Amino acid sequence: MGLGELWFVLVGVLLAGYAIFDGFDLGVGTLYPFLGKSEADKAAMRMSIGPIWDGNEVWLLTGGGALFAAFPAVYATVFSGFYIALMLLLFALIFRAGALEFRHVDPAWAKLWDWAFFLGSAIPSLLFGVAVGNIIRGLPLTAEGEFITGGGDPIFLANLVTALNPYAIVIGLLSVAWIVLQGSTWLSLKTTGDLYERAKKTRKVMVVAFGVLLAVSAAATALLVPGAFAKGVASPAGWLFVVLAIAGTVLVAMGAARGADRTSFYGSSLAGASMVGIWAASIFPALVPSIGPGEALTIANSQSSPLTLTVMLIIAGIGVPLVLFYFFVIYKTYAGRIDSSSVTSGHY
């Protein structure tokens, strides 16, 4: 395995880490208006992610930074091409952060911050999946790796209507279903009382919805993007991730049936990480498949110099273990359930 292939895997690991950790943050926010029946319930939901949500965002920042340094052409093409969609995503995440930090200190604006928390979670949940769907489907690229219109001029592919094609919407709905499932499994770990019972019921519904959408997404890929489907099923790694995604879904269902909340959370996390693996297997060795006249952006034609990749690898070898240790300490410190019946006020 060369340095380029190694960084392809490492970027995938970072994205999988973001999916797992910030996935339940986004899931809690998406469920917020539906499960938060009282002020105490809403406070408990915010407090369940309050001490850790900003640390979870580090996975996204690190993944984006690694993509920029390891595969700069991919970073430039994707981030310029989906400019408006990514700005919408950015503003949604900013307002979600504002809601978590300011909701408790500004009761007069509580409803506004509640909506900001919900929309700032639900919109990224959809847009992440839409972006993945468009990349699997392939992007119209020139020979220089830029987006093109029908006339052949490079443009910003920022039109959300263009991005929201049927296949991308299917993958977007799959993303929302999994994120809501991840959020419900997290709340099942962190809450008590009526809120816990509502989270458990949501978990049972969402594991079925996720399983159905996973099958629908596989069928849609086979019909609409046969090249990606063939590449995925031709790869042993692709089959491994498919089996792990199914196994994770089964673990969620088994945990829900037996009241094993931790098992359900681990199963949901496994399913989410496995979907990142399926995505990688369906496009490898490309990072951005092309449906235009230009070549796809692959590991070979978009990677940085060997020196850059080597220095990055040394830095990652030092930094990643420190980050993992930090996560271990933080999650251990804030372990345990939150009793919404005793919540009157709090930092979140």
Establish if 343 belongs to a structural domain.
no
Asked if residue 340 has pLDDT above 80, the reply is: no
Q: What average pLDDT does the segment 132-150 reach?
A: 75
Domain residue limits at 328: 3-333
Q: What average pLDDT does the segment 218-226 reach?
A: 96
Establish if 339 belongs to a structural domain.
no
Establish if 338 belongs to a structural domain.
no
Q: What average pLDDT does the segment 26-50 reach?
A: 93
What's the burial of 277, exposed, middle or buried (CB within 10 Å: 0-12/13-18/19+)? buried
Residue 157's pLDDT is 45
pLDDT more than 90, % of the chain: 66
CB 33 within 8 A of CB 186: no
Asked if residue 328 has pLDDT above 60, the reply is: yes
Calculate the CA 83 to chain-centre distance: 18
Collapsed DSSP state (helix, strand, coil) of residue 59: helix
Copy the structure tokens of residue 89.
């995503």
Q: Is residue 151 very low, low, confident or very high in pLDDT (cuts 50, 70, 90)?
A: very low
9 vs 147 pLDDT, higher one: 9
Q: What average pLDDT does the segment 188-207 reach?
A: 95
Q: What average pLDDT does the segment 153-163 reach?
A: 53
Asked if residue 343 has pLDDT above 80, the reply is: no
238 sits in the region (left: phi over 0; alpha: psi -120 to 50; else beta) called: alpha
Average pLDDT, rounded, for the chain: 89
Residue 110's pLDDT is 87
Q: What digits encode the pLDDT tens for the residues 235-255?
A: 999 999 999 999 999 999 999
Asked if residue 153 has pLDDT above 60, the reply is: no
Residue 156's pLDDT is 42
Q: Which of 87, 18, 95, 103 is nearest to 56 (CA)?
A: 18
Establish if 44 belongs to a structural domain.
yes
What is the residue type of 252? V
Establish if 316 belongs to a structural domain.
yes
Establish if 342 belongs to a structural domain.
no
Least confident of 16-20, 102-106, 123-127: 102-106
Residue 144's pLDDT is 63
Asked if residue 289 has pLDDT above 60, the reply is: yes
Residue 336's pLDDT is 87
Establish if 347 belongs to a structural domain.
no
Residue 158's pLDDT is 45
Asked if residue 154 has pLDDT above 50, the reply is: no
Cα–Cα distance, 50 to 137 (Å, whole number): 36
Residue 108's pLDDT is 80
Q: What average pLDDT does the segment 156-176 reach?
A: 79
Asked if residue 152 has pLDDT above 60, the reply is: no
Residues 6+ apart with CB under 8 A from 124: 26, 89, 92, 93, 96
Q: What digits encode the pLDDT tens for the residues 258-286?
A: 999 999 999 999 999 999 999 999 999 99
Q: What average pLDDT does the segment 119-136 reach?
A: 94
Copy the structure tokens of residue 164.
């929201």
Q: What average pLDDT does the segment 65-76 reach?
A: 91
Calculate the CA 234 to chain-centre distance: 25
Domain count, the chain: 1
Residue 107's pLDDT is 76
158 vs 203 pLDDT, higher one: 203
Q: Is residue 161 very low, low, confident or very high in pLDDT (cuts 50, 70, 90)?
A: low
Establish if 340 belongs to a structural domain.
no
61 vs 159 pLDDT, higher one: 61
